[in-house]
Structure 1
């Protein structure tokens, strides 16, 4: 039986216990960490404008996207050696084209490659060893000479466009390619192997090269040799589409640059699916035409082809391609208008590199939804922000430019069009949100230096 006194004491104990329990809990909010402040949202791109956000880094641009094919079948004229030095070419694919599968490389050929590499300011050399009518042992002998001379050659490939070989299907090529690769790696495990170097890959199974049994060259190569390859490589020349349609119209050529927005992502996914790896991609031969043509409205030596290339190169940079080797460094007109250099003068595509060599090595966000307009932006080592705008439209376009964090700035302007060969023109004052004038069929480089 509880007495009143016991009931009182019992109540005191309960209250005391409840108070102690309450005191053992932290007061709400007293020891909570301070809330993380919400980031200030970046402005969203306005429609029908150019939008640049230099605060969003999209990674490092490979220095080897400014490459070219070079071989013993080319010669850099004495009168153009200074232009070659100033070309901005950073990577050399040697010996270029199918020459390497019809000739055996001699020591003096390799010596010549290294001399040109030095002339171009230390352009990274790569060598494609002969595959047809050759052996893994002969490939290793080429590597042995390179090593004995102390030449630094890291990038190697085996053969050229096997998808065009007579008497080869994917199974035979993949088996023999593997024997070459294993021998070369045994000699030097540090080499970087590129392949399969097939022709006309587009990421479309309906048109991609197949062997006589209907097997896709790229897919079969990745299945068979995906464990040995370091960089997945291919070639692309979109025109002519047939010999009955030998020349593209300007509209056809300029619209074609957009295909790269499909080709590269499709190949990346195919590589992941078939190898389980994310491998770098190289486009080791590329130009507007595969035929030996020149002096046409859109042939490789034309202004239109240069305008096309300015946009293609920007898209390849945007897709984070590791190596791009334009075809070619030099050719006389007698064998086609391919080369950046001719016999006595440079061709229009040369000037594309005069702009891009000022671009920078850190890609930042840039986009536009204006038809036939492309925008690519980068940050340079000196802190400058650069913007390349390619206008594939015939008419000038007046477009608002929005640069996040830049209210007003003075920009250098470099212009490539029919009247200007990548020349510096009058500087402009850029005000974020205000319109800029982009000339028709032109490439404009803006350079904004840090204050």
Structure 2
């Protein structure tokens, strides 16, 4: 009886292993859809080369966050950014955030300053995939104390900076409005921008910060599901002739240029812990599966408690998560788990299939590994203890059933049978 009660307490008595079902059409994973990051002047990538290169960044957004409206974008900073791109070890795309808000008299936030930034970028040999006009203008009224920044004023600024940059680079592409959330008043701001500027934006952007770090672990993780609905809502907004009279007929891309589980940079909870890492990977995969073209995690290295490592180079769980996520390439296939605690994502790339499974439960869950037409050739996972020990990934012994540790992200690799 004592042993039975112990098994029941562990949640494994009589529980059948979870099974997976692969069904439906695949979705191509855009090249910049996963493992993009924000970076800035205060993030010395050269001090964390191994960590940076281990996640194979697909894009870097610079200067990223509020700092872009606190300092001018000049030739020196753009040369610094070009050097940072060169450190990644990959062909990393550049997203440059222009200055829009002015914190002082004479700030370089005018159209002619945006044009000069384009000339400076060209002189530095910096190829910019997107110029993002400003950062979170929906918060200028509340956080910056300037209620004049309506969506219409921002749209006017967007048009003016865009026109100035196009005179320097006729092939330039433009992103915005980079509002602060995927729901609530921020979406009203985005909708007003779409109505006024739907004819000129190329990458429609917003941010995802669902909590302040005080939610329960379970509630915080559950918010990852919401990003899919946000994408659907924004796509519907874009295609609506009534709400987007100037641009509903245009095919543009969607992007999330900042995302993290908590916006409270001063608190490590749900940023520098396992829950924050699992949420980050989940959100990136869900955005990619929803067809979002660009996603940029905040941030690549230490920005408070954001980042893959701290300023001393000590790894955080997010580093392990994005090392797993760099393999999520090719075509995303719909996959479903019989256990609601296990969140699976499947990518097919040539003869290989990569299955990433988040175990959201605090305890171990079992997974049946069979996949018709494929053989399992490898399985690695990590837990918060793995990170605390600064250890390598846990290599799981292959078999028809795997034990997935609680609060882990496991990568299983399958090879197509001849």
Task: Tell me the residue number matched to 1:445.
Answer: 411
User: Relative to 1, partners in 2 of residues 1:220 and 1:56: Cα closer, same or farther, differing over 3 Å?
Assistant: closer
Deviations 1:238-278 (A, max 9, x none): 112xxxxx622212211111111211111111111123234
Q: How does 1:337-348 map to 2 (within 5 A)?
A: 337-344=305-312, 345-348=314-317
Task: Tell me the residue number matched to 2:137.
Answer: 162
Deviations 1:360-411 (A, max 9, x none): 3222232225313211111235x211111111011222344552434xx232
Q: 1:387 aligns with which of 337, 350, 355?
A: 355
Q: Look up the SS of the partner of 1:428 in the other structure.
A: coil
Q: Structure 2 CA distance, aligned partners of 1:105 and 1:146? A: 10
Deviations 1:37-88 (A, max 9, x none): xxxxxxxxxx9631135x953223433421111111222363x222222232
Corresponding residue pairs, total:
377
Task: Tell me the residue number matched to 1:221.
Answer: 193
> Could you tell me whether the CA contact under 8 Å between 2:98 and 2:114 is conserved in 1?
yes
Q: CA deviation at 1:293?
A: 2.2
Task: Tell me the residue number matched to 1:93.
Answer: 61
> Could you tell me whether the CA contact under 8 Å between 1:201 and 1:208 is conserved in 2?
no
Q: Structure 2 CA distance, aligned partners of 1:186 and 1:228? A: 15
Q: 1:300 aligns with which of 251, 268, 271?
A: 271
Q: Structure 2 CA distance, aligned partners of 1:320 and 1:411? A: 29
Q: Structure 1 CA distance, aligned partners of 2:45 and 2:124? A: 24
Q: Answer yes or no: is 1:374 the counterpart of 2:343.
A: yes
Q: Structure 1 CA distance, aligned partners of 2:222 and 2:380? A: 24
Task: Tell me the residue number matched to 2:299.
Answer: 328
Task: Tell me the residue number matched to 2:96.
Answer: 127
Please, which runs of 5 or more residues in structure 2 have no aligned partner? Answer: 1-16, 103-108, 141-145
Q: CA deviation at 1:168?
A: 1.1
Task: Tell me the residue number matched to 2:373.
Answer: 405
Task: Tell me the residue number matched to 1:237.
Answer: 209
User: Relative to 1, partners in 2 of residues 1:304 and 1:60: Cα closer, same or farther, differing over 3 Å?
Assistant: closer
> Could you tell me whether the CA contact under 8 Å between 2:342 and 2:360 is conserved in 1?
yes
Q: CA deviation at 1:128?
A: 0.8
Task: Tell me the residue number matched to 1:423.
Answer: 393
Q: Structure 2 CA distance, aligned partners of 1:82 and 1:400? A: 34
Task: Tell me the residue number matched to 2:7.
Answer: none
Give TM-score scaled by structure 1 length.
Answer: 0.78
Q: Structure 2 CA distance, aligned partners of 1:153 and 1:195? A: 15
Q: Structure 2 CA distance, aligned partners of 1:221 and 1:308? A: 29
Q: Structure 2 CA distance, aligned partners of 1:339 and 1:144? A: 31
4+ long deviations beyond 6 Å: none
Task: Tell me the residue number matched to 2:9.
Answer: none
Q: Structure 2 CA distance, aligned partners of 1:404 and 1:320? A: 27
Task: Tell me the residue number matched to 1:312.
Answer: 283
